[in-house]
Structure 1
Amino acid sequence: MEQIKKYPKTWLQEAILLSLILPPLGLAALFYAAKVTPLFLYGNKEASHFYAHRAKRFVKIGFFFLIALVTFAILISLFALFLFKIMPRY
């Protein structure tokens, strides 16, 4: 087994930001990100890297989901503007 010495990125700041925008995914990321530092300091480096990887996964899924939601909202609003433009008004 190889030695893990490098301190993992906690993804805590990104998880906090995501929890303000998309609470379900942000809180899941925050749960995992909060465990990274204590586990690393107690010497459980493998678990620390595992939780860092999980936090990273939830943060990335959340931000991609946010981008998809914003894109969908823009497309819906453009479609509504198009319909209001071509629909006759009585």
Structure 2
Amino acid sequence: MREGAMQNRIREVLAAHGRMAVDPREVDDQADLYDLGMTSHASVDVMLALEDAFDIEFPEEVLKKSTFASVRNIEQVVESLVTSAA
């Protein structure tokens, strides 16, 4: 995946499923998504959509609030899962 493509896709998933008050395509990659309005329920929807988008499965050990707290955190976990699945 070309550089930036993964983060763009993550931001698209967040825009579609994160239910935030702001457009996640416009926020800093370290911004706290929960402070921006994402709920824990919405984070489950985001997780499921990311699993579909990247053909991955989030293992139980990464299913914590901090994983989904920022675009950067999500990107790091997704990148790790994509790499280990290859």
TM-score normalized with structure 2 length: 0.32
Higher relative contact order by CA 8 Å / sep ≥ 6: 1 or 2? 2
* Rg comparison, structure with higher value: 1
Higher helix share goes to which structure? 1
TM-score normalized with structure 1 length: 0.31
